Structure 1
Amino acid sequence: MLHSQIKSDIKQCYENLGAQLDNFIPRRAQNYLVAEIAKTLAGEYHPKHRMLVAEAGTGIGKSLSYLLGGIPFALFNNKKILISTATVALQEQLINKDLPLFNQIFPKEFSFILAKGRQRYCCTHKLEACCITDTDQQVALWEEKPKKSDLELLKRMLKAVETRKWDGDRDSWPTAVPDRVWQQIVADKHSCHAGLPKHRSCPFAKAREHLEKADVIVANHALLMADIELGGGIILPEPEQTIYVIDEAHHLPQVARDFSSAAASLKGAANWLEKLNQSVGKLAELADYKKSGRFQTNLNETISHLIPSLRQIAANIDPAQFNQDGIYRFEHGELPSWLVEEAKSCKEASKKALQSLGKIHDLIAERTKDNEILPRLGEQALAESGFYLQRLENLEKVWSLMAQPNKDKGAPLARWIEKNPDREGDYIIEVSPLEVGYRLDQLLWSRAAGSILVSATLRALNQFDYFCRQAGIFEKESTRFLALASPFDYQNNARLVIPAMSLEPQADKFTDLLIKTLPEYLEGEKASLVLFSSYWQMNKVAEALRPLMKKNKWELLIQGEESRNLTLKKHKENCQKGKSSILFGTGSFSEGLDLPGDLLTNLIITKIPFAVPTSPVEEAHAEYIESRGGNPFLQISVPEASKKLIQSAGRLLRKEEDSGRVVLLDRRVISRRYGKALLDSLPPFKRVIEYA
């Protein structure tokens, strides 16, 4: 049961919120969501599996809901709250707006912090090493000779760190730091760790200290996956002591899949292995030959085995088997027998190489810590060996996955080879799981103190089943599910118009029909957004309509011609001046685009956003479903299209007073069997179906 003190704290927050915000109107759906979050975490629905999956439409106030329902419970029970998001924009909103507001209305003190990965922080020792006066040694630390401006920038950064005017966070440096410079000073797990005196006060170590003290931590899905893949509690708090709030939760399965995937080139790996082979003696000498000699011998032997193996694999690949995109996918994830044997061999060799170099690396760290070698030499060697350790870890992961036999149950791994666009005659070996739900369940949901998953689009075709399969939510009976409609008045404020199109999108002449039809639905409108299914189609339509736009004095802004921020800025300026402003965009403009009020009153969707399974992973997934007697179109394409269509339509109404229309130029929603399900999953717009 929910403790009375927690109820009292939540009630106090609401009262304070009303006093803090002008024109604050309590929303019934928001109140309900707060209560359900608190009751779920208190174990009222299930004593152990405390999970809530909530789809909450635009305007409900999801972030404030989970702060109200989660923080009082977490603090009372001495748990941490981790809020994970998919976008930087939401992180900034939470850190700069929502959490400071909640801090004002919550009757008790709590702290919050934004968590970032190690790669966002500089290593002060590396920074010092890059600023040394010995020119030859400076150049040796760089892959390419540094520019004078690069060295000047590093000296300014070092001075700022030493005078405590900069905390070592890349994002807080006043200007953009070039990648070539940042790669020289970025903290890494192998050469930068608190076990060495020089690193105990490094920016990342300091950030970790603040992280451990914070009550509420804001992170992104990638950092969350990085932590749980390491076992949990390494970067972020331990899962057993953490209540996870996964906002923008519909992105999590894809992020999890990316983290479980691996790729490595053949000739590229052979090249850096040769360089490692040449450096081993120097590293072993610093590690002390008496202790490191056998590890050096093992490393040399395994490298001598790996390099010809990788080159032989490249030589055995038949170029005729690649498609027009330069990809050769193995059907059902099954490798030819010769490659199975090579994969097993490369797996064992890369594993031994990783272990041997790891031992040498540890010996160097130990001698550096004990001052048995000059700190400058030790740190430089650790940076070099750390660089190769990361590459060996990736190589071992690739070949372990390639060598892994397909299981009797569950989906196989997608395995394919791609021509390396950056190196002639080279190939990239790539592996990816098709389903990652079991990993999320094993590493996260089964261990968490509580899990709250929220998004505006979690359902597909009005069902949670598709998301549950993707996200590994197998305990459906003990999971609390909510679908909360937006408070907006869709019937009176918005229309869904389906024009009488003579062709469907798959027709050859459909693009020509778009060119002919679009002006009719742009005429008289001041703020329009047209969403296309491809850049090719968008650009062709734009080129054909430019003369008309110019003649009518319509301002046309096309995604990709300028930065997203500048494009949207120009659109807002046009709208403020009363000009007719038209945005042309593709899929990325269908999510996360916030154009309230008069900034968008006319949304045109050119077609149902069906994704064609062109990537090797998508093709492999469709193949797997077919092998089980399923229908990939109905089981993958239609649910995905449903989610994307909802996201696209969600661009129109952003606030309760907004109004406008959605025009869908795709008659398949009324001509095909699946169309009704797609229509019914959209918000309850007033429908206008036009006929010729």
Structure 2
Amino acid sequence: MLHNTIKSDIKQCYTNLGHQLDNFIPRRAQNYLVAEIAKTLAGEYHKKNRILVAEAGTGIGKSLAYLIGGIPFALFNNKKLLISTATVALQEQLITKDLPLFNQIFPREFSFILAKGRQRYCCNHKLEASCSTDSELQLGMWEEKPKKSDLDLLKRMLKATEQNKWDGDRDSWPTTIPDKVWQQIMADKHSCHAGMPKHRSCPFAKAREHLDKADVIVANHALLMADLELGGGVILPEPEQTIYVIDEAHHLPQVARNFSSAASSLKGAATWLEKLNQIVAKFAELADYQKANRFQNAIQDSVQHLVPTLNQIANNIDSSKFNKDGVYRFEHGELPSWLEEEAKGCKEASKKALQSLGKIQDLIAERTKENIIIPRLGEQALTEVGFYLQRLENLEKVWALMAQPNHKKGAPLARWIEKSPERENDYIIEVSPLEVGYRLDQLLWSKAAGAILVSATLRALNQFTFFCRQAGISDAEAEGTRFLALASPFDYQNNARLVIPALKLEPQAEQFTDLLIDVLPEYLEGETASLVLFSSYWQMNKVADALRPLAKKNKWQLLVQGEESRNETLKKHKENCKNGIPSILFGTGSFSEGLDLPGNLLTNLIITKIPFAVPTSPVEEAHAEYIESKGGNPFLQISVPEASKKLIQSVGRLLRKELDSGRVVILDRRIINRRYGKALLDSLPPFKRVIEYN
């Protein structure tokens, strides 16, 4: 049962909120969501499985709801509240707006912080080493000789760090740091030793201290998965002591899949393995040669197996198997027998090398702490060893997954080879799971003190089934998970129309792009703020080029995604709307989510095509293949539910506030001509419908 103190705190929040906000009007759906969050966390629906999955439409105020429902419960029960998001924009909103507001209305003191992963912080020792003039050290640090401009940037960063003008956070450096440079200096678990004097005051260690003290932590899905993959409680609080709020939850399965995937080059890996072979004797000497001798031998034996094997695999690959995109996918995840045997050998050799180098690192760290080795030399060696450990860990993961036999139950792994875009005659070995729900359940749902999953789009075709299967959450009532679908408070019937014109062609027709060029002007004429969503860049650019003369004639401002940065494009659109200049945005799928254009910034939304994703990536192809092998229909089981979610997200761009109004135009007749179309149409908000017929 919910304790009276928690109930009192929640009521006090609402009372204070009314005083804090001008013209505050309580929202029934928000109140209901707060109550359901609190009751779920208190175990009123299920003592053990305290999970709530809530689809909350635009305008409900879900972020304030989970703060009011979650923070009082977490503090009273001495738990941490961790809010995980998919986008930086939502993180910023929580840190700069929502949490400061909640701090003013909550009757008790609490602290909050934005959490970032190790990889957002610089390792001071790596930074020093990267700037070193020691050519042997630089050989180990860089795969290729660094450019002068890269070294100059690193030297400026080192100087700023030494003068306490930079805190080591990548996001706080005034200019963009190229990925290639950042990868040389970012903190990682292998190079960072809390026991070493220099690392006790490193940027990540300082940030971690603040994290441990905070009551509420805002993170992203990538950092959450990184922590869970390490066992939980390494970067973020332990799952058993944490209540999780997963906002933008529909992104979590894809992030989880990315973290369970792995990739490594063949000849590129052979190159750095040879460097390790040359330098490992130096590490063994620092570690005490008598103790480290057997580990050195094990590493060199492993390298002597791996280098020729990786080069041989590259030479044996049949170039005729690659498609036009440079991808060779193994059907049903099954490797040819020769590669299966090589994978087993690479798995064992990389595992042995990883374990042995880890032992050498431990010995160096121990001798450095005991001042047997000069600290400067010891820490420099540990940093260098860390580079190779990181690479070996990835190599071992790739070959362990490649060698893993397919299970009779469950989906196989997707396995494929891509031609390297950077090295001629080199290949990238890649492996990915098809389904990650079981992993999320194993690492997160089964351990968490409680979990609240929210998003404006969790259902597909009006059901939670598709999301639950992806996220590893049982939708069986007996399991106790609570499900809510809360409609937006917006007046869709009176404030917006959904128009489906009587077009003579469907999008799969060859002449459809020409048809768009002909009909779009009719739906842009007289409109002041339009967004047109396309299914491909190619089609968008062709239509844009064709309509530019008309736009110039009519004094329309045509702004096309990709011609300038997203921020600059949206800035120009807002200026146009402010100055009364008709403004038209052309965008693709990324403009269908996270784009906030309230009021007169968007009154006319045109969707050229139902957003069906074509299974072109190796993982998508493998997933479709697996479903077919089980007698299923990939189009109905994957494509239609995904399209339903994306279509809901797309139409959600129109009404952002209660007084917004406008029109949605869908130029795809399949939504009324095909059997699946009715389900797609019925899953959209209750706009006033205008369906035209010839």
Matches for 1:66-145 after TM superposition, within 5 Å? 66-129=66-129, 143=142
- Residue 620 of structure 1 corresponds to which residue in structure 2? 622
Matches for 1:548-559 after TM superposition, within 5 Å? 548-559=550-561
Checking the alignment, whether the CA contact within 8 Å between 2:465 and 2:475 is kept in structure 1 is no
- Residue 512 of structure 1 corresponds to which residue in structure 2? 514
Checking the alignment, whether the CA contact within 8 Å between 2:498 and 2:666 is kept in structure 1 is yes
- Residue 259 of structure 1 corresponds to which residue in structure 2? 259
- Residue 274 of structure 2 corresponds to which residue in structure 1? 274
Does 2:608 match 1:596?
Answer: no
Question: How big is the alpha-carbon RMSD for the aligned residues of Structure 1 and Structure 2?
Answer: 1.6
Residue by residue over 1:23-44, the C-alpha shift from the partner in whole angstroms, topping out at 9 and shown as x without a partner, is 1111000000000000000000
Output the amino acid matched with 1:659. Answer: S
Give the deviation of 1:313 after TM superposition: 1.2
Give the deviation of 1:146 after TM superposition: 6.1
C-alpha spacing 1:537/1:172, structure 2 compared with 1 (3 Å): same
Matches for 1:451-470 after TM superposition, within 5 Å? 451-470=451-470
C-alpha spacing 1:637/1:354, structure 2 compared with 1 (3 Å): same
Matches for 1:488-503 after TM superposition, within 5 Å? 488-503=490-505
Distance 2:62 2:609 in 1: 30
SS in 1 for 2:623: helix
SS in 2 for 1:674: helix
Stretch of structure 1 that moved more, 306-315 or 642-651:
306-315
Does 2:532 match 1:526?
Answer: no
Distance 2:80 2:654 in 1: 36
Distance 2:537 2:558 in 1: 15
Residue by residue over 1:165-193, the C-alpha shift from the partner in whole angstroms, topping out at 9 and shown as x without a partner, is 43321212333334454344322211222
SS in 1 for 2:380: helix
Checking the alignment, whether the CA contact within 8 Å between 1:131 and 1:138 is kept in structure 2 is no
Give the deviation of 1:220 after TM superposition: 0.3
TM-score, structure 2 length as denominator?
Answer: 0.97
Matches for 1:536-547 after TM superposition, within 5 Å? 536-547=538-549
Give the deviation of 1:592 after TM superposition: 0.2
- Residue 396 of structure 1 corresponds to which residue in structure 2? 396
SS in 2 for 1:501: coil
C-alpha spacing 1:426/1:148, structure 2 compared with 1 (3 Å): closer
Output the amino acid matched with 1:101. Answer: L
Matches for 1:219-368 after TM superposition, within 5 Å? 219-368=219-368
Output the amino acid matched with 2:636. Answer: L
Checking the alignment, whether the CA contact within 8 Å between 2:196 and 2:379 is kept in structure 1 is no
Give the deviation of 1:149 after TM superposition: 6.5
SS in 1 for 2:44: coil
C-alpha spacing 1:36/1:396, structure 2 compared with 1 (3 Å): same
TM-score, structure 1 length as denominator?
Answer: 0.97
SS in 1 for 2:428: strand
Give the deviation of 1:422 after TM superposition: 1.5
C-alpha spacing 1:511/1:152, structure 2 compared with 1 (3 Å): closer
Give the number of equivalent residue pairs.
Answer: 691
Does 2:386 match 1:386?
Answer: yes
Structure 2: gaps spanning 5 or more residues:
none
Stretch of structure 1 that moved more, 387-396 or 246-255:
387-396
- Residue 439 of structure 1 corresponds to which residue in structure 2? 439
Give the deviation of 1:523 after TM superposition: 0.3
- Residue 684 of structure 2 corresponds to which residue in structure 1? 682
- Residue 582 of structure 1 corresponds to which residue in structure 2? 584
Give the deviation of 1:283 after TM superposition: 1.4
**Quick one: percent identity of the two aligned structures?**
84
Distance 1:18 1:530 in 2: 39
Distance 1:589 1:618 in 2: 22
Stretch of structure 1 that moved more, 414-423 or 579-588:
414-423
Distance 2:312 2:582 in 1: 61
Output the amino acid matched with 2:634. Answer: P
Residue by residue over 1:416-472, the C-alpha shift from the partner in whole angstroms, topping out at 9 and shown as x without a partner, is 111112112111111100000000001100000000000000000000000000000
Does 2:489 match 1:487?
Answer: yes
Output the amino acid matched with 2:303. Answer: I
Residue by residue over 1:188-227, the C-alpha shift from the partner in whole angstroms, topping out at 9 and shown as x without a partner, is 2112220112211111111111111100000000000000
Give the deviation of 1:279 after TM superposition: 1.0
Distance 1:392 1:207 in 2: 27
- Residue 569 of structure 1 corresponds to which residue in structure 2? 571
- Residue 192 of structure 2 corresponds to which residue in structure 1? 192
Checking the alignment, whether the CA contact within 8 Å between 1:130 and 1:141 is kept in structure 2 is no
Give the deviation of 1:365 after TM superposition: 1.5
Residue by residue over 1:531-550, the C-alpha shift from the partner in whole angstroms, topping out at 9 and shown as x without a partner, is 00000000111111111111
Stretch of structure 1 that moved more, 67-76 or 383-392:
383-392
SS in 2 for 1:416: strand
Residue by residue over 1:106-152, the C-alpha shift from the partner in whole angstroms, topping out at 9 and shown as x without a partner, is 000000000101111122233444566x6768966863666776666
Distance 1:327 1:552 in 2: 46
SS in 2 for 1:503: coil
Output the amino acid matched with 1:296. Answer: Q
Stretch of structure 1 that moved more, 464-473 or 620-629:
620-629
